[in-house]
């Protein structure tokens, strides 16, 4: 991706140069058209200059105006014989436009004042050209040209005219038609065109294009009738005569486009080679060393030293990164070792704390037992026994905490089994098997803070059942279950004894108050029923209960 982005400036610069060269090639076509136009105009202007010089020379022969008709005709015929390839006729008119003489037979005195041949030079007071016509006497396509005969005082004395052969105007261009890469037309003031090259009508500009050329006097580009692109321009040869030049540019543009394609192909090939070379170099010098380093990092086991294994050919950055990883792994190993030592020390301290707390609670429980044994008052003896059971439950909880070496949570199944066994031993159930305590618990762990309330709740419930649920030697069962259900855990303690009311126990006594208080601390509410004995149920929210494997992690 970075390599591709890096090639954008090169592509932009080189592509821009290629496009500039393409534009230059197209401009060259326009320059070529201008050069061709100027050359063609120069040739045609030279031909017309010859005619103008000849007619201006005749216009200075004012003697012909008063010479006999035969003399005037002979003069005209002698000149026509010299330039038969250029002109079809030469004639002289007086100041009123009446014919005085003609090289070709024509009636003398004929009124020609209404012709463009007479009016144009009279109006311009200089050499002028008329429209393309078919000669009345010669029958050939001609363009009349005339010069006025002006006296020294500026008055008009006559007009001398010549019919210029259109074939003559086209002859020089046709001689070069095989090699000239252009088409040319002469256009009179009416817009009539005469092809002076081998150009057909299909390459002539449309009327709208001709109008644009005449109005703008510039160069335009467009498609001719045959569908090929041309550049057309126009030049003024005389006040009423223009030359239209058309240059076919399809070949020139094709060369320019071919050169552009070649430059772009060269650019793409060059960049492709550069990209391949860069990618190959990056693969050898950067990518492979980085992959080797990444593979060794993946294979590295945290806690072990990361050994540098860079090669001499690897880039300095990879070597430095390799060394940095080795240094970091050493620091990490030292930190891990220190953390393990701290955790070990913490575990020892926690175990010692729980062990001492358990021992202290055991001592308190023993003292309560000894004190109860000395009392003769049954009620006081009962209360001390209840207090001993509560203390003994806490001692058992702390013993499980330091034995499991899990100080944040406790596995409930083994804890409940030992707790209920201890409560049974306190009531001397081993010597009297009339009451059975069963445990059915899923492998669930509970947070140590919540385990205290749960242990005391179970102690109160089981102790009450043992003391009050089976009077007069009644047999029965106390079932303790701790099951996971959806997003909570369900604690159920049920017996098939006589129930609280029948046993004479107070449903609002201290024991039931403690059970409800512990239930609230666990985030639930204890439900007590007496249908068939006594059943206490408590649903504990899931966030307080954790599966064993997850908690162990």
Q: What percent of the chain has a predicted confidence (pLDDT) above 70?
A: 84
Determine how many CB atoms are found less than 10 A away from the CB of residue 154. 7
pLDDT at residue 457 above 60?
yes
CA distances from 323 to 284, 297, 421, 457 (A): 20, 12, 61, 59
Determine how many CB atoms are found less than 10 A away from the CB of residue 485. 10
Task: Give pLDDT tens digits for 492-551.
Answer: 999 998 876 555 555 566 778 888 898 888 888 889 888 788 999 999 886 655 544 433
CA distances from 309 to 135, 297, 325, 438 (A): 105, 11, 11, 63
pTM > 0.85: yes or no: no
pLDDT of residue 180: 44
pLDDT of residue 241: 80
**Helices H / strands E in the chain, number of each:** 14, 19
Q: Is 514 helix (H, G, I), strand (E, B) or coil?
A: helix
**In angstroms, rounded to a whole number, what is the distance separating the alpha carbons of residues 246 and 182?**
6
pLDDT of residue 21: 67
pLDDT of residue 175: 40
> Degrees (nearest 5) of the Cα angle 247, 248, 252?
105
pLDDT at residue 178 above 50?
no
Instruction: Give residue 293's pLDDT band: very low, low, confident or very high (50, 70, 90).
Output: confident
C-alpha 486 chain-centroid distance: 48
Instruction: Give residue 429's pLDDT band: very low, low, confident or very high (50, 70, 90).
Output: low
Instruction: Give residue 14's pLDDT band: very low, low, confident or very high (50, 70, 90).
Output: low
pLDDT at residue 385 above 70?
yes
Type and span of the H or E element at 322: helix 316-374
> What's the number of CA atoms in the CB half-sphere (13 Å) around residue 532?
6
Nearest to 103 by CA among 119, 123, 121, 82: 82
Q: Which residue has the higher pLDDT, 439 or 2?
A: 439
Q: What is the mean pLDDT of residues 229-242?
A: 77
Determine how many CB atoms are found less than 10 A away from the CB of residue 21. 14
**In angstroms, rounded to a whole number, what is the distance separating the alpha carbons of residues 409 and 532?**
34
Q: Which residue has the higher pLDDT, 202 or 480?
A: 480
Q: Which residue has the higher pLDDT, 241 or 479?
A: 479
pLDDT of residue 549: 41
């Amino acid at each position: 991706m970075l390599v591709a982005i890096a090639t954008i400036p090169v592509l932009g610069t080189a592509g821009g140069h290629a496009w500039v060269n393409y534009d230059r090639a197209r401009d060259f076509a326009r320059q070529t058209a201008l050069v061709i136009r100027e050359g063609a105009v120069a040739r045609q202007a030279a031909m017309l200059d010859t005619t103008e010089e000849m007619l201006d020379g005749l216009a200075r022969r004012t003697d012909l105006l008063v010479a006999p008709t035969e003399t005037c005709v002979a003069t005209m015929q002698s000149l026509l014989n010299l330039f038969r390839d250029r002109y079809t006729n030469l004639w002289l008119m007086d100041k009123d436009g009446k014919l005085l003489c003609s090289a070709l037979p024509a009636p003398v005195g004929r009124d020609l004042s209404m012709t463009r041949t007479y009016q144009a030079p009279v109006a311009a007071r200089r050499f002028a050209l008329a429209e393309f016509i078919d000669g009345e006497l010669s029958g050939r396509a001609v363009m009349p040209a005339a010069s006025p005969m002006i006296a020294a005082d500026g008055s008009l004395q006559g007009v001398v005219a010549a019919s210029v052969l259109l074939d003559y105007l086209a002859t020089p261009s046709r001689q070069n038609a095989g090699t000239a890469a252009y088409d040319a037309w002469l256009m009179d003031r009416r817009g009539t065109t005469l092809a002076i090259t081998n150009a057909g009508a299909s390459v002539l500009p449309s009327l709208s294009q001709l109008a644009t050329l005449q109005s703008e006097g510039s160069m335009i580009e467009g498609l001719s009738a045959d569908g090929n692109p041309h550049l057309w321009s126009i030049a003024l040869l005389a006040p009423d005569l223009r030359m239209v030049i058309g240059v076919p540019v399809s070949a020139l543009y094709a060369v320019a486009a071919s050169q552009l394609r070649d430059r772009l192909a060269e650019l793409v090939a060059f960049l492709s080679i550069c990209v391949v070379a860069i990618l190959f170099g990056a693969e050898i010098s950067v990518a492979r060393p980085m992959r080797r380093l990444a593979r060794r990092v993946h294979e590295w086991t945290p806690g072990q030293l990361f050994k540098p294994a860079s090669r001499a050919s690897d880039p300095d950055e990879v070597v430095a990164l390799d060394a940095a990883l080795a240094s970091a792994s050493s620091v990490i190993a030292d930190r891990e070792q220190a953390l393990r030592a701290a955790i070990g020390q913490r575990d020892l301290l926690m175990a010692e704390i729980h062990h001492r707390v358990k021992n202290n609670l055991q001592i308190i429980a023993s003292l309560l037992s000894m004190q109860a044994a000395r009392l003769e008052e049954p009620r006081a003896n009962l209360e001390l026994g209840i207090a001993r059971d509560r203390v003994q439950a806490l001692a058992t909880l702390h013993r499980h905490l330091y034995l499991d070496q899990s100080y944040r949570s406790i596995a409930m199944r083994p804890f409940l089994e030992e707790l209920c066994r201890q409560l049974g031993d306190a009531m001397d159930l081993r010597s009297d098997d009339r009451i059975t305590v069963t445990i059915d618990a899923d492998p669930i762990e509970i947070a140590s803070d919540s385990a205290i309330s749960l242990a005391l709740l179970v102690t109160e419930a089981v102790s009450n059942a043992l003391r009050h649920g089976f009077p007069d030697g009644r047999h029965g069962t106390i079932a303790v279950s701790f099951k996971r259900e959806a997003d909570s855990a369900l604690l159920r303690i049920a017996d098939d004894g006589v129930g609280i009311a029948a046993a004479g126990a107070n449903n609002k006594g201290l024991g039931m108050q403690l059970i409800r208080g512990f239930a609230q601390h666990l985030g639930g509410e204890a439900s007590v029923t007496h249908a068939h004995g006594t059943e206490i149920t408590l649903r504990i929210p899931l966030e307080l209960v954790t599966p064993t494997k997850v908690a162990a992690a």
